Structure 1
Amino acid sequence: MTTSDPQAAGPLPAHVTTPLLALITQQSLDEDYQHVAEQRRSGARPAVARTGRSPRTLIAVLLFGTLLAVAAVQTARNAGVTSAGRDQLISRIDSRRAALAGLQAQMARLRTDTGAAQARYDAAGKRLDTLNNARAADLVRTGFDTMNGPGVRVVVNDAPGGLAQGQVQDKDLRLLVNGLWQAGATGISVNGQRITALSALRNSGEVIRINGVSLSPPYTVLAVGDTRTLQAGLAESTSGAQFQAVTDQFGMRVSMENRDDVRLPEASPGMMALHKARSGTSKQQKPPVNQEETQ
């Protein structure tokens, strides 16, 4: 097998060494010039139709012109549509802005109304707190709520021997309770029954009753107050002095001591029920009697 030397075969043709783009351009131009030169030598007029290029160019120009005309017409039409759409869009934007401004004004009014309502609510809450505090204080003071604090514990018992004169009576406990009030007590209970403005100590036979509950000796009286002055105030009060005189006279047993923490129960809520009063005597309040029934 033999290999041939490229240089030995001679130089390469021009159409091989010339770049492709330059070759296409040269050949195209050469063929056109050659064609036109032959027509001129033969005395014939160059025919546009024979070349095969000018009609295509003309058609291309016509098509391009048609496209420009269509584009111009379409652009004119679109210009009107675009202008109408722009005006409509601007109108919508203005309408939305006006609506937004109205909503913002409404929100401002609502904020103002809400602030005023909140201020009224806060003021009402403060008044309610004041009333609740006053009510709670009234309930404690009147005996319808529990109470605790320093105070004294007084135990009263019948005199030894079982004599009737030595038994503690309702009036004796009333003297003690009134004396404690006079000494500055803020709350009192007797055998676990809270003393209120509606309470009354009364004898029912040999039993003392209060708040509808029967008591039995020994009687434990708890009073909340200043331990530094409560006992001394009791002894110096008119009712306290009378109580001391009665117990000394009939030999009733009495003990009293200060307490750091005295707890008083609340009175029964049923005691707060209102009762309706009617004027007139009991006979006037009775319904008329049917005479037929008495015959």
Structure 2
Amino acid sequence: MSPDPQPQRRGPVDASMTLLNEVMHRPLDPGYAAAAARRAAEGDAPRGRGRTVLLVALAVALGVVTTAATLDLRAPQPAVIEARATLEQEITDRQADADALATRSNELSAEIGALQDEALGGLSDDVLAGLQREGATTGSQAVEGPGVVVTLDDASGGLGGDDTTSANLVQDSDLQRVVNALWSGGAEAVAINGQRLTGLSAIRSAGDAILVDLQPLVPPYHVEAVGDADAMRTALVRTGASDYLRLLSTQYGIQSGVTAQSTLEIPGRPNPTLYFARVPGAPVESDPDPAGDGSSPEAPPLGDVAGTTEERQESVE
């Protein structure tokens, strides 16, 4: 009697396991399997591989074109480079010309001063003293003597770059207020960072920069005044300039200080341009001494200034 045949392995017979049985034993759909067998018999390459190669080639081509276009756009054009070089050279030449003219002006001023001293050497001491007083008043004569120095500086570096606004910077109106207070206190000569102030001087702003007679200044700002130190410090308090400086410090972080100096040297300026002249011996149309007491007229104020911190804030906004 022959042995029983080996039973064949059968999948689950439960109808609920049909889907699982199909996935396990026939994962590929019969239609896909037939199509794959037909392409293999015909010797055709799979379409998926050819499409992938095509996409890769297209991506490489697009990358090359995009890179070339970017490099071409970022590369400086010869015309732009030439124009920039021309402008830079012109700026350098003009700056050199301005420096040369300034040096020549100082040399001529010194020569004029020497010739004037030589021509006036035979005059009396009273006339020479009067000329020196006149030169100090007009600003053409250097002045030396005791006085005060008022220092103003922008908000300290403790403020972040994002928090720093024009309100935290020293403005032209702040310097105007201090200078006017010093003039009212009897200052004989005033200068800001070495720039001598006269009756024709102007303190103005251009953006965030402060100009004195069109000369830009860099903070900190040192306002030097020659004269009676006690009288000028009293004038700072009497005119409210001291309280104003304290408000600037508490609300905007602007640093300030007032110090007395035993000796200050304020340079003179070139002789001012003459707009009026008269023939010697002709009558004078205006009285240079309206008070009749021999005193010189008070220096004119340097423009209107903001009287309160609120006005300063409005001007900033």
Q: TM-score, normalised by structure 2?
A: 0.43
Higher percent of residues as helix: 1
